[in-house]
Structure 1
Amino acid sequence: MKRTLIAAAMLLVTSQTYAAAETYVVDTKGMHASINFKIDHLGYSWVVGRFNDFKGSFVFDEDDVANNSVEVTINTSSVDSNHAERDRHVRSEDFLNVKKFPEASFKSTSVTKDDDEGEYKVKGDLTLHGVTKQVEFEIEEVGAGKDPWGGYRRGFEGEMTLKPSDFGINYDLGPAAATMELEFILEGVKQ
Structure 2
Amino acid sequence: MKKLGILLIMVTFAINVQAQTKWKVDPFHSSLNFTIEHSGISMVNGKFTNYSGTLTTEEEELSDAKFKFTVHVESINTNVEKRDQHLRSADFFEVEKYPEMSFKSNEIIKTGKLDHYLLFGDLTIKGITKEVVFDLYYGGKVKTDQGEKLGLKAETTINRLDYNIDYDPTGAGIAKDVNIVAHLQFVKQ
Fold agreement, TM-score > 0.5: yes
Are positions 1:33 and 2:1 aligned together? Answer: no
Map Cα deviations across residues 53-72 of structure 1 (whole Å, 9 max, x no partner).
Answer: 00001123345655311111
5+ residue gaps, structure 2: 1-17
User: Which structure has the bigger radius of gyration?
Assistant: 2
What is the number of residues matched between the two proteins? 170
Map Cα deviations across residues 123-167 of structure 1 (whole Å, 9 max, x no partner).
Answer: 110001110001112100112110133x00001002100000001
Aligned to 1:5: none
State which drifts further: 114-123 or 87-96: 114-123
What's the Cα RMSD here? 1.7
Aligned to 1:56: 53
TM-score normalised to structure 2 length: 0.84
Of Structure 1 and Structure 2, the greater helix share is in 2
State which drifts further: 69-78 or 57-66: 57-66
Letter in 2 for 1:98: V
The 3 A distance-change label for structure 1 pair 65 and 139 is closer
1:181 to 157, 173, 179: 179
Q: Which has the higher contact order (CA 8 A, sep 6+)?
A: 1
Of Structure 1 and Structure 2, the greater strand share is in 2
Letter in 1 for 2:150: R
Letter in 1 for 2:19: A
Aligned to 1:24: 23
Point out 4+ residue stretches in structure 1 off by more than 3 angstroms. 61-66
5+ residue gaps, structure 1: 1-18
Q: Identical aligned pairs, as a percentage?
A: 35
The 3 A distance-change label for structure 1 pair 64 and 159 is closer
Letter in 2 for 1:74: V
Aligned to 2:153: 157
TM-score normalised to structure 1 length: 0.84
Map Cα deviations across residues 70-127 of structure 1 (whole Å, 9 max, x no partner).
Answer: 1110000000000000000000000000000000000001111113511111111000
